[in-house]
Amino acid sequence: MDKDVAKRLLAQAGILVVPWRLVTARAFGRDRAATLGLASELGFPVFVKPCNAGSSVGVSKVTSAAELEPALRAALGFDSKVLVEAAVNAREIECAVLGNDEPQASMPAEIIVHHKDGFYSYDAKYVDADGADGKIPADISPELTARVRKLAVDTFRCLELAGMARVDFFLDRQSSALYVNEVNTIPGSPPSACTRRCGKASGVSQKELISRLMTWPSKRRAERRKLKTQI
């Protein structure tokens, strides 16, 4: 759930992530001007988001320096750590990953936002019934589909995830660069969410999905019970 730690691990593994700066409540309280300067280094627009929150809670799109401090204060109301991320003109691609030691990626989906916020905000997800659509499978080439699925599994393994997760990507409209935006280890199910339908598009029925999700934790627990707990 910690987006800052996840980004650092992914970057260390050579996986492309959007440039970011970290703001902490302590640093903001100690030297507001210096913190605002750090947060402004990426230029504008940027996105400001709590590190340990989901569903786009506390997320703001900031288009000018005047909007930065209110956005930071709003995000710090939900977490003591906040990310400031460079905005990318990109398509939003999602890919579910299922499994333990041998994870498998679903067919990718694309989120198409219609909401006035201009990004996949909380209101676009949960308030506005027409705020966003999920297109499954995403309208991308077979080669790009393979890239997304491989990178989703690489991300899953890098962060040592298990069971189920959803990897969210930014596909740069100009350069076609593929960034890992973030990982959702407890994917929700708003009407526009792709998680519920990615499995079906990949040939996995809901019954089979639930059965797998019930089996994998038992296997992990059995493996951990074989480990020594004392010398």
**What angle (nearest 5°) sits at the alpha carbon of residue 20, between those of residues 198 and 139?**
30
Cα torsion for 67, 174, 11, 9, to the nearest 10°?
Answer: 70
Tokens of 24: 């902490």
Nearest partner of 215 among 77, 95, 129, 207, judged by Cα: 207
Give the tens place of pLDDT for each residue, 72-101: 999 999 999 999 999 999 999 999 998 888
- Which structural domains are found in the chain, ordered by start? 19-86 (3.30.1490.20), 90-225 (3.30.470.20)
Average pLDDT over residues 123-127: 86
HSE at residue 204, side-chain half, CA atoms within 13 A, is 20
Length of the chain equals: 231
Which of 115-129, 140-154, 175-189, 198-212 has the lowest average pLDDT? 198-212
Tokens of 107: 């067919």
Q: How far apart are the first and last CA of the chain?
A: 33
- Under the banding of pLDDT at 50, 70 and 90, the label for residue 189 is low
Q: Report the C-alpha gap between 127 and 125 in whole angstroms.
A: 6
**What is this structure's pTM?**
0.86
Give the tens place of pLDDT for each residue, 4-49: 999 999 999 999 999 999 999 999 999 999 999 999 999 999 999 9
190: amino acid identity, one letter? P
Summary mean pLDDT of the chain: 90
DSSP character for 185?
S
Sheet harboring 46-50: ordered strands across?
Answer: 20-24, 81-86, 46-50, 60-62
Q: Report the C-alpha gap between 97 and 159 in whole angstroms.
A: 12
